[in-house]
Chain A
Amino acid sequence: MSFPWAKRYEPTHPFMVWVDEKLPLPRLVHGAIGAGYPVPRNLNYFWNFGVLAGFCLLLQIVTGVVLAMHYAANTEVAFGSTEHIMRDVNWGWLLRYAHANGASAFFAVLYIHIFRGFFYGSYKAPREMVWLLGVLIFLLTMATAFMGYVLPWGQMSFWGAQVITGLFSAVPLIGDWLHTYLLGGFAPDNAALNRFFALHFLLPFVIAGVVILHIWALHIPGSSNPTGVEVKGESDTVPFHPYYTAKDGMGLGVFLVLYCGMVFFAPNALGHPDNYIPANPMQTPAHIVPEWYFWPFYAILRAFTADIFFIPAKLMGVLAMFSSILVWFFLPWLDRSPVRSGHYRPMFKWAFRALVVDLIVLGYCGGSPAAEPYVMISQIAAAYYFLHFLVILPVISGLEKTAPLPFSITQSVLGGAVSGDEPAHAVPAE
Chain B
Amino acid sequence: MVRIVAPFVGLFFALSALWAFVVGAESYITEPPAATAESVFHLKPQEVSFASDGPFGRFDRQQLQRGFQVYSQVCSNCHALKYVAFRDLKDLGYNDDEVKAIAAKHDVPVYNPATGEVKTRKGMPADHFPPVVYAGQGNPPDLSLITKARHEGPAYVYSLLTGFGDQPAEVLQRFPEAKVPDGLYWNPYFANLNIAMPPPLVSDGQVEYGPGNPKPTVKQMATDVAAFLVWTAEPKLEKRHQTGGAVVLFLMFATVLAFMAYRNVWSGVKH
The interface of chain A, by Cβ under 8 A from chain B, is: 41-43, 80, 83, 86-87, 93-94, 97, 238, 242-243, 246-247, 249-250, 252-254, 256-257, 260-261, 263-265, 267-268, 273-274, 276-277, 286, 303-306, 308, 313, 316, 320, 323, 330, 333-334, 336, 371-373, 375-376, 379-380, 382-384, 386-387, 389-391, 394-395, 413-414
Contact B83 A257 (CB under 8 A): no
Contact A83 B16 (CB under 8 A): no
Is B25 at the interface (CB under 8 A from chain A)? yes
CB of A309, distance to nearest CB on chain B (Å): 10
Q: How far is the CA of A12 from the CA of B10 in the complex (A)?
A: 58
Pick 30 A–B contacts, CB within 8 A, sort by A: A87-B83, A94-B243, A97-B240, A246-B265, A250-B259, A250-B262, A256-B251, A261-B248, A264-B248, A265-B241, A265-B244, A304-B20, A305-B23, A306-B16, A316-B16, A320-B17, A372-B33, A376-B21, A376-B24, A379-B17, A379-B21, A379-B24, A380-B17, A383-B17, A384-B14, A389-B6, A391-B6, A394-B6, A413-B270, A414-B270
Contact B3 A386 (CB under 8 A): no
Given A260-B248, A305-B20, A336-B3, 17 more A-B residue pairs with CB atoms under 8 Å apart are A43-B271, A83-B145, A242-B265, A243-B265, A253-B259, A256-B255, A260-B247, A264-B241, A265-B244, A273-B153, A320-B13, A320-B16, A371-B33, A376-B24, A379-B20, A380-B21, A383-B17
Contact B3 A87 (CB under 8 A): no
On chain A, the residues within 8 Å of B254 by CB distance are 253
Q: How far is the CA of A134 from the CA of B153 in the complex (A)?
A: 40
Contact A323 B13 (CB under 8 A): yes
> How many pairs of A and B residues are in contact by the CB < 8 Å rule?
175
On chain B, the residues within 8 Å of A252 by CB distance are 258
Q: Which chain A residue lies CB-closest to B55? A: A265
3 shortest A-B CB distances, which residue pairs?
A: A264-B244, A390-B10, A253-B255
Contact A243 B10 (CB under 8 A): no
Contact B236 A93 (CB under 8 A): yes
CB of A94, distance to nearest CB on chain B (Å): 7
B10, B83, B251, B262: the one contacting A83 at CB < 8 Å is B83
B13, B236, B264: the one contacting A383 at CB < 8 Å is B13
Known pairs A243-B269, A286-B191, A379-B18; A87 contacts B244 (CB<8 A): no
Q: How far is the CA of A86 from the CA of B261 in the complex (A)?
A: 38
Number of residues in B with C-beta < 8 Å to the partner? Answer: 58
Contact A306 B247 (CB under 8 A): no
Residue from the set B153, B235, B255, B270 with the largest chain A CB neighbour count within 10 Å: B255
Known pairs A94-B240, A330-B6, A334-B3; A274 contacts B17 (CB<8 A): no
Q: How far is the CA of A42 from the CA of B241 in the complex (A)?
A: 40
Is B107 at the interface (CB under 8 A from chain A)? no
Contact B2 A42 (CB under 8 A): no
On chain B, the residues within 8 Å of A286 by CB distance are 191
Contact A333 B2 (CB under 8 A): yes
On chain B, the residues within 8 Å of A387 by CB distance are 10-11, 14
Is B44 at the interface (CB under 8 A from chain A)? no
On chain A, the residues within 8 Å of B90 by CB distance are none
Contact B14 A386 (CB under 8 A): yes
Contact A264 B255 (CB under 8 A): no
Would you give the 0/1 interface string for B141-165, flagging 1 where the beta carbon is closer than 8 Å to chain A?
1001100111101000000000000
Contact B247 A376 (CB under 8 A): no
Is B9 at the interface (CB under 8 A from chain A)? yes
Contact B149 A277 (CB under 8 A): yes
B150, B244, B262: the one contacting A273 at CB < 8 Å is B150
A254, A261, A268, A389: the one contacting B10 at CB < 8 Å is A389
Q: How far is the CA of A380 from the CA of B13 in the complex (A)?
A: 11
Is B113 at the interface (CB under 8 A from chain A)? no
Q: How far is the CA of A42 from the CA of B19 in the complex (A)?
A: 46
Q: How far is the CA of A253 from the CA of B2 in the complex (A)?
A: 42
Q: How far is the CA of A253 from the CA of B248 in the complex (A)?
A: 10
Is B88 at the interface (CB under 8 A from chain A)? yes
B2, B148, B240, B241: the one contacting A276 at CB < 8 Å is B148
